[in-house]
Structure 1
Amino acid sequence: MPYRQENPARPAPSPGREASKASSGKGPANKAQGSPRARWPEARHYAALDLGTNNCRLLIARPQGDGFAVIDAFSRIVRLGEGLAATGRLSDAAIDRTLSALKVCADKLKRRNVALARSVATEACRRAENGPDFIARAYAETGIHLDIISAEEEARLAVLGCHVLLEPGDGPALIFDIGGGSTELVLVDTRPVVPKVLDWHSAPWGVVSLTEHAGQAVGAEGRLALYARMRALVAESFAGFASRLPRDLDGPRLLGTSGTVTTLASVHLGLSHYDRSQVDGLIVPATSMRRISADLSRMDLNERATLPCIGTERADLVVAGCAILETIMDLWPAERLGVADRGIREGILRRLMRGDRL
């Protein structure tokens, strides 16, 4: 392949388990394979791929100033972790969907003359019995080596990718990432240029895992009971971390990166379709996010599916995201919520471009 991955070693087959904003020229492999001339011939292109429990997302960028310029991007809901809670395994259908998305990513990596890439997999692959087998198959069929990262590294990458959107202020801030299979909470000291992680926690509930575990609801009363059950499950999983958080802060700051917060921010703005330029960096009153969450939890599936920026793809998962978000706002009572449409991929790109060892 005409790009180098940070973890290039072929994974051994397992018998049963595993935005904001040039440097050197193109890699030699591009000329050897007769690739077309790059649009920015003197720029080195980097790529970050984040395969989560629900989404497969790719970002390709080149250095620009003290940040980077996005060259290409790809995002697809693949639901890799669908059914994982019940079986402990990635299903054949989920694997096929994900491999199809990864093949699109592989094609983009080749066409964009990427010099250096890192691809990571998170909670679904951490938990699945056949996670390593899937990683080996993905490499064999697409050439993409997925590195299964720890929850701690996932949290740190998310912070690195989005911390610039935190509101100015003194005292620690809380950054969170609601994923498909887990939720990461990170308490940071923002006085250094790159925030220092003071404490962090990974809870086993994301929008997919919580939805599948909590089950379905029938009728208005059933939906209220289901939402309360989700909130209770999440609160229990946060309890240890909550007990360590500082109290009586003056103006606590809160920043979220996930499909949940960007979707709810779109609803808050009344957008007819998702617009990253209006959502990324938005500051929303916490009371508005709570009101939207409460409204969505009372709707049935069909009502949620008719809402712009939710639709059929998110209608069954958004209530779990609302339950997680409201519980986070309970333990860190900020008056406003910062919204980031950036995170792990941007964190990876920043590390790659500054030459950090990953």
Structure 2
Amino acid sequence: MTQFPSPYFAAIDLGSNSFHMLVVRMQDARIEIVDREKEMVQIARGLDKENNLSEEAQERALACLHRFSERLRGIPQEQIRAVGTKTLRAARNSRRFLRLAEEALGTPIQIISGYEEARLVYIGLSQAVVNEHDQRLVIDIGGGSTEFIIGKGHNTLCMESLGMGCVAFTAAFKLDPDKLSAKAMNAATLAACGKLELIRSQYLAQGWEVTYGTSGTMRAVAELLGATDGGAVITRSSLEDYVQKAIANKQLDAPGITKLRRDVLPAGLAILRAIFEQLQLEKIHVADATLKEGLIYDNIGRFNNQDSRVHAVKLLQDKYRIDKDHATRVSETALHLWRQIDNAPILIGLSRTKILDWAAKLHEIGLSISHSSHHNHGYYILRHSDLGGFSRHEQYMMANLVRSHRKKILASRFEDMDSAALAAFYPLLFCLRISALVHRRRETVAILPELRVKKENFVLKLSDTWLDQHPLTRAGLEQEVHQLKKIDIQLSFD
């Protein structure tokens, strides 16, 4: 069994409605929950029309993260995963907020795609239920988005994230639990039906045998319908009866539900009505496991050679018919150079070695589209694809390495990186560019190049005999001297 630096793992989910923290302990190959915390920060309420996050919402979030940080002390950084979802994906000023949030929490925070959000939700659910042989539909209604996953066992078959959530819909349709109207509820339900049209046919064709709901909204609704449905399921008939009574009374009767949850519950009910209608459901089972549990299991997998990112890279290599032997050669040489660079600046929250390895293995991903501009096509594929396990920042760094691994270096392409990120990125780019050049003939190099680095001076040592036998590579390396000057790297040869 893998020995971990600490028996404790933690997951933090910066959701659009609630922030969650989960701390677990590995005990005899079993996971034991030792602490959990939730605060309904509702940062989605802080987004204005221009998608800027308000100062008030940021202050609520930072105060919550500061409180969470106390519980994380003593847990190794690599055993903590913190992610942001829909609202932080959308916020135009999220970069500044993330710097403050990471400082308050004391650990890096990754912004993940809706696809990755769905994948993690399913991982959490698949570890918590026992009917592994049933094909199941999993639904997670969040504050800013709702995820839909069809899977069987631990494998997913369909994953989608739709831009409808209880906080966002509350604001959009002015839903008030104390002034409930049929007009507002029906408008919200109709809008949700419109969103679901995007996936309805595909999901119904795929089919499922059992449906699970995993969100706080699902649990709150199940609790309210407990007298008729027992508290562990939500039936379509009970849901509709409850909604119609609430509309008739112009008020939501929700005893035992906190005020913050009650405020956004009408929107959750409207979305849930649409889900039942469009996906032709009669019953949803409510489960406890959600994204944060998925984060825990996914992180443990990375320690046990079950990194979902490795699987995603292999899938891309197969899909785009990448020459794997050549990709491996380029990766090995790039990593050989990288290991000779001491004290390179770090990339917070990223493994530079892994990012370089994966970028090298995918550097020709665009060749199946076009040879002359395959580096640009590769950038687009890696930047915009849904890649399991990868954060948006990891994809961004990997995509930029691939785009700039050949031809001219354009510093303007890196304007989204701050000075610290650039200082960490440039040595990685150097290693990939030199490796791609050295392997231009797509053959194994008998003697790998040696490297000495002193500040901005990179001295590359190659065999004179080998260079004489490879005049095209020599010419390429001489041109590389001029390209690398653009990023303040002074390349010379010994």
Q: Shared topology, TM-score over 0.5?
A: yes
2:241 equivalent in structure 1: 291
Task: Give yes or no for the alignment of 1:342 onto 2:305.
Answer: no
1-structure distance, mates of 2:177, 2:119: 39
Aligned partner letter, 2:162: A
> C-alpha deviations, 1:298-352, integer Å up to 9, x for none?
5545x54xx3232321222101101111111112233321102221110011112
2-structure distance, mates of 1:217, 1:57: 25
1:91 equivalent in structure 2: 54
1:232 equivalent in structure 2: 190
**Quick one: structure 1 residues 149 and 114, their matched pair in 2 at CA, closer, same or farther if it must change by over 3 Å?**
closer
2:168 equivalent in structure 1: 209
**Quick one: structure 1 residues 299 and 178, their matched pair in 2 at CA, closer, same or farther if it must change by over 3 Å?**
farther
TM-score by length of 2: 0.56
Cα offset, 1:296, TM superposition: 3.9
Q: Which has the higher strand share?
A: 1
2-structure distance, mates of 1:103, 1:219: 33
1-structure distance, mates of 2:177, 2:33: 45
**Quick one: structure 1 residues 174 and 313, their matched pair in 2 at CA, closer, same or farther if it must change by over 3 Å?**
same
Task: Give yes or no for the alignment of 1:107 onto 2:78.
Answer: no
Match of 2:220 among 260, 263, 270: 263
2-structure distance, mates of 1:158, 1:168: 17
> C-alpha deviations, 1:1-27, integer Å up to 9, x for none?
xxxxxxxxxxxxxxxxxxxxx9747x5
Structure 1: give runs of 5+ residues left out of the alignment.
1-21, 28-42, 272-277
Please list, as runs of the form range in 1=range in 2, the aligned pairs for 1:140-289 lying within 5 A after superposition: 140-164=103-127, 168=131, 172-188=135-151, 190=152, 193-194=153-154, 196-216=155-175, 223-247=181-205, 252-269=209-226, 282-289=232-239
Task: Give yes or no for the alignment of 1:45 onto 2:15.
Answer: no
SS of alignment partner, residue 308 of structure 1: coil
Q: Which has the higher helix share?
A: 2
Cα offset, 1:247, TM superposition: 4.8
**Quick one: structure 1 residues 67 and 346, their matched pair in 2 at CA, closer, same or farther if it must change by over 3 Å?**
farther
Which piece of structure 1 moves more, 172-181 or 149-158? 172-181
**CA radius of gyration, larger in:** 2
Cα offset, 1:138, TM superposition: 1.1
Larger RCO, structures 1/2 (Cα 8 Å, 6+ apart)? 1
Structure 2: give runs of 5+ residues left out of the alignment.
308-388, 390-494
Please list, as runs of the form range in 1=range in 2, the aligned pairs for 1:291-310 lying within 5 A after superposition: 291-300=241-250, 303-304=252-253, 307-310=254-257
SS of alignment partner, residue 89 of structure 1: coil
2-structure distance, mates of 1:64, 1:297: 49
SS of alignment partner, residue 341 of structure 1: coil
Task: Give yes or no for the alignment of 1:330 onto 2:277.
Answer: yes
2-structure distance, mates of 1:348, 1:102: 17
1:30 equivalent in structure 2: none
**Quick one: structure 1 residues 115 and 166, their matched pair in 2 at CA, closer, same or farther if it must change by over 3 Å?**
closer
The answer as to whether partners of 2:175 and 2:267 remain within 8 angstroms in 1 is no
Q: Percent identity?
A: 25
**Quick one: structure 1 residues 168 and 315, their matched pair in 2 at CA, closer, same or farther if it must change by over 3 Å?**
same
**Quick one: structure 1 residues 44 and 331, their matched pair in 2 at CA, closer, same or farther if it must change by over 3 Å?**
same
**Quick one: structure 1 residues 353 and 266, their matched pair in 2 at CA, closer, same or farther if it must change by over 3 Å?**
same
1-structure distance, mates of 2:177, 2:44: 25
The answer as to whether partners of 2:8 and 2:25 remain within 8 angstroms in 1 is yes
2-structure distance, mates of 1:111, 1:133: 27
Which piece of structure 1 moves more, 254-263 or 282-291? 282-291
Cα offset, 1:88, TM superposition: 0.8
Q: CA RMSD in A?
A: 2.9
Task: Give yes or no for the alignment of 1:312 onto 2:271.
Answer: no
1-structure distance, mates of 2:76, 2:133: 43
Cα offset, 1:225, TM superposition: 0.8
Task: Give yes or no for the alignment of 1:77 onto 2:27.
Answer: no
**Quick one: structure 1 residues 200 and 115, their matched pair in 2 at CA, closer, same or farther if it must change by over 3 Å?**
closer
**Quick one: structure 1 residues 23 and 269, their matched pair in 2 at CA, closer, same or farther if it must change by over 3 Å?**
farther
Aligned partner letter, 1:231: T
1-structure distance, mates of 2:287, 2:141: 12
SS of alignment partner, residue 181 of structure 2: helix
